């Protein structure tokens, strides 16, 4: 087993930070040299390998981690290929007898951990540490010892637990110094550019550097900005997409650039309005709930949680899917959201709910089609939160919104984007329409459209479907599975 001077490999995964990283702190505490590595292994992840926007984020997050490790006197080793073979090679070529990492919860990642446990050569140990959640999925169970399927009792059970432990600082300088270089160098070794994570042509992410600052420093900065500028208005303001009051921490949290414990303790420092704090923590709670569900029901990203939805009569209209993806549905709030997503890699939560409801209920397209598009386009694409949220909106998930609750996209726009600021930002061709008609241009008098320079069918599409008829078709489809079950 581990010799007192053998190096330890620290295998970075979705935990691209140095502070509050239990596995890294444990490695540093041994006093042994620590070899940091990252392995891009799309084959193991299969269809859930990072999508385009996540890859853009990952590139920049790895660049930030490289720089932080360099400040500690080390170098992040980058590889692309089979994780097991690369870890084995690294252990053999450096004499390392331990591999430390953070636990991951995606079914493919958990499976990879199990297979590493079983197949790493004798004398090489794999140690996993919890570091990405407030509460491990096994820690929370209902009175019968079963997983929760409803959010409120789940979150109450979490809150009855002891507060998450205080975060720990990054290991002090020198933790990565004097590491033996692997000999001979691996064929799978790559430079950061060699990982080929960035879009080439077309570069749809041009300008994203001015929107986002991936990496640990960017995450910390984002949290501070939220605390001073957003949290005070959070409970109500979070529903209004034009107001910039939510934290936008999701891509940082997903990539592990900040831990939920760090956020929890910073937010609960006793200096902030409790109602706002509670609401914000409960949103982190939804993330915890998603991971709890994914851990206990690993099919959730692919299969309807409520079985009766397996037979839902979806309509696979590709032209409608394309129009939705491109923000050309004729419903301004939907189109604004889909364009925000394409242009920034992000979409406001309220609008995510509206566009997801529109896809699954107005267009009767399966939630998996939306989930897949989000997977490719979101910088925060997260298997647990994305799968569970899509099923929540579609009505098929655990503790889901009832299927018959069908958002009217026009009234959603009127309620949550009253002054039309959000729609005007993302659908500029409608900017000159008066507020009264902005969310339903198809119902605007001809003269109003003319004055605003809008010709429907030319500058902006006619509605893809009629709201009333689509709503009825959705309710009929739902009736058919209710009757069948
Ligand atoms: P804040 O309001 O500041 O919330 C703080 C944090 O809490 C977020 O960063 C996030 O980590 C977590 N959180 C908030 N709301 C939720 C929620 N409903 N479910 C789970 N966690 C939540 N979130 C993702 O992180 N990745 C996804 O792939 C994703 N896909 C979604 C798909 C659909 C159809 C819907 C309706 C929601 C999805 N969400 C997803 C949840 C939510 O929209 C985002 O987490 C949130 O908009 C991120 O913005 P924020 O960081 O400003 O959130």
Q: Looking at per-residue confidence, does 179 or 297 come out higher?
A: 297
| Ligand 1 atom nearest to 260, measured from its CA | 11
Mean predicted lDDT score pLDDT of the chain: 95
Nearest-CA residue for ligand 1 atom 30 is: 386
Look at strands 8-12 and 77-80 and give their pairing: unpaired
pLDDT band at 306 (very low <50, low <70, confident <90, very high): very high
Annotation says 317 is catalytic: no
Nearest-CA residue for ligand 1 atom 3 is: 247
- Assess whether pLDDT exceeds 80 at residue 483: no
Model pTM? 0.97
Annotation says 286 is catalytic: yes
Query: What local confidence, expressed as pLDDT, does residue 2 receive?
Result: 57
Arithmetic mean of pLDDT, 448-467:
98
Which pair of tokens denotes residue 345? 């890699």
Q: Which of 168-182, 241-255, 302-316 shows the lowest per-residue confidence on average (mean pLDDT)?
A: 168-182
Query: What local confidence, expressed as pLDDT, does residue 3 receive?
Result: 62
Residues 6+ apart with CB under 8 A from 232: 272, 273, 276
Q: How many CB atoms lie within 10 A of CB 147?
A: 16
Query: What local confidence, expressed as pLDDT, does residue 1 receive?
Result: 53
Query: What local confidence, expressed as pLDDT, does residue 244 receive?
Result: 86
Arithmetic mean of pLDDT, 30-41:
95
Nearest-CA residue for ligand 1 atom 29 is: 386
Annotation says 283 is catalytic: yes
For the chain, what is the radius of gyration of the CA atoms?
A: 24
Annotation says 108 is catalytic: no
Arithmetic mean of pLDDT, 227-255:
96
Determine the distance from the C-alpha atom of residue 423 to the mean position of all C-alpha atoms in its chain, rounded to a whole number: 24
Give CA–CA dist 369/360, Å, rounded: 9
Query: What local confidence, expressed as pLDDT, does residue 400 receive?
Result: 82
Report helix, strand or coil for 287: helix
- Secondary element (H or E) of residue 12: strand 8-12
Q: How far is the CA of 10 from the centre of ligand 1 (A)?
A: 29
Point out the catalytic residue in the list 88, 113, 125, 283.
283
Annotation says 349 is catalytic: yes
Query: How large a percentage of the chain has pLDDT more than 70?
Result: 98
- Assess whether pLDDT exceeds 80 at residue 179: no
Task: Please write the tens of the pLDDT for every residue from 356-385.
Answer: 999 999 999 999 999 999 999 999 999 999
Q: How far is the CA of 439 from the centre of ligand 1 (A)?
A: 25
- Assess whether pLDDT exceeds 90 at residue 186: no
Q: Bridge-partner residues for 78, per DSSP?
A: 38
Point out the catalytic residue in the list 286, 373, 392, 426.
286
Give CA–CA dist 329/431, Å, rounded: 17
Query: What local confidence, expressed as pLDDT, does residue 403 receive?
Result: 85
- Assess whether pLDDT exceeds 80 at residue 277: yes
Q: How far is the CA of 385 from the centre of ligand 1 (A)?
A: 7
Give CA–CA dist 248/156, Å, rounded: 25
Query: How large a percentage of the chain has pLDDT more than 90?
Result: 91
| Ligand 1 atom nearest to 234, measured from its CA | 2
Pocket of ligand 1 (CB under 6 A): 238, 246-250, 253-254, 283-284, 286-287, 290, 349, 352-353, 356, 374, 378, 380-382, 385-386, 389-390, 393
Look at strands 8-12 and 98-102 and give their pairing: parallel
């Amino acid at each position: 087993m581990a010799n007192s001077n053998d190096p330890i490999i620290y295998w970075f995964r979705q935990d691209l930070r140095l502070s509050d990283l239990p596995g890294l702190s444990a490695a540093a505490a041994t006093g042994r040299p620590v070899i940091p590595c990252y392995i891009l292994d799309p084959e193991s992840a299969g269809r859930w390998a990072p999508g385009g926007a996540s890859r853009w984020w990952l590139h920049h997050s790895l660049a930030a981690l490289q720089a932080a490790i360099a400040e500690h006197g080390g170098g992040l080793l980058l590889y692309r290929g089979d994780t097991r073979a690369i870890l084995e090679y690294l252990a053999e070529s450096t004499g390392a007898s331990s591999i430390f990492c953070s636990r991951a919860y995606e079914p493919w990642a958990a499976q990879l951990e199990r297979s590493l446990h079983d197949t790493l050569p004798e004398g090489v140990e794999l140690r996993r540490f919890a570091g990405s959640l407030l509460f491990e999925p096994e820690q929370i169970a209902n009175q019968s010892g079963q997983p929760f399927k409803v959010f409120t009792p789940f979150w109450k059970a979490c809150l009855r637990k002891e507060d998450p432990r205080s975060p720990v600082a990054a290991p002090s300088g020198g933790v990565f110094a004097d590491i033996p270089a692997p000999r001979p160098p691996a064929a799978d070794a790559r430079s950061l550019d060699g990982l080929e994570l960035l879009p080439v042509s077309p570069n749809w992410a041009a300008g994203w550097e001015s929107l986002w600052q991936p990496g640990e420093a960017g995450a910390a900065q984002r949290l501070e900005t939220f605390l001073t500028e957003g949290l005070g208005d959070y409970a109500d303001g979070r529903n209004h997409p034009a107001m910039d009051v939510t934290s936008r921490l999701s891509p940082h949290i997903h990539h592990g650039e900040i831990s939920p414990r760090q956020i929890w303790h910073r937010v609960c420092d006793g200096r902030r309005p409790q109602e706002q704090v509670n609401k914000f923590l409960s949103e982190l709670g939804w993330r915890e709930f998603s991971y709890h569900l994914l851990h206990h029901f690993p099919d959730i990203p692919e299969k309807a949680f409520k079985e009766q939805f397996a037979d839902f009569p979806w309509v696979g209209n590709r032209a409608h899917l394309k129009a939705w993806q491109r923000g050309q549905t004729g419903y301004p709030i939907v189109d604004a959201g889909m364009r925000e997503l394409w242009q920034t890699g992000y979409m406001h939560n309220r609008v995510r709910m509206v566009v997801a409801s529109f896809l699954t209920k107005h267009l009767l397209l399966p939630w998996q089609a939306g989930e897949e598009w989000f997977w490719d386009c979101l910088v925060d694409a997260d298997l647990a939160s994305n799968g569970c949220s899509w099923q929540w909106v579609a009505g098929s998930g655990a503790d889901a919104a009832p299927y018959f609750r069908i958002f009217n996209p026009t009234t959603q726009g009127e309620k949550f984007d009253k002054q039309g600021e959000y729609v005007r930002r993302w659908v500029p061709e409608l900017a000159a329409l008066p507020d009264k008609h902005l969310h339903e241009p198809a119902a605007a008098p001809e003269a109003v459209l003319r004055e605003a320079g809008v010709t429907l069918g030319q500058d902006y599409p006619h509605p893809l479907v009629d709201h009333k008829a689509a709503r009825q078709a959705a309710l009929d489809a739902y009736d058919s599975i209710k009757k069948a079950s």
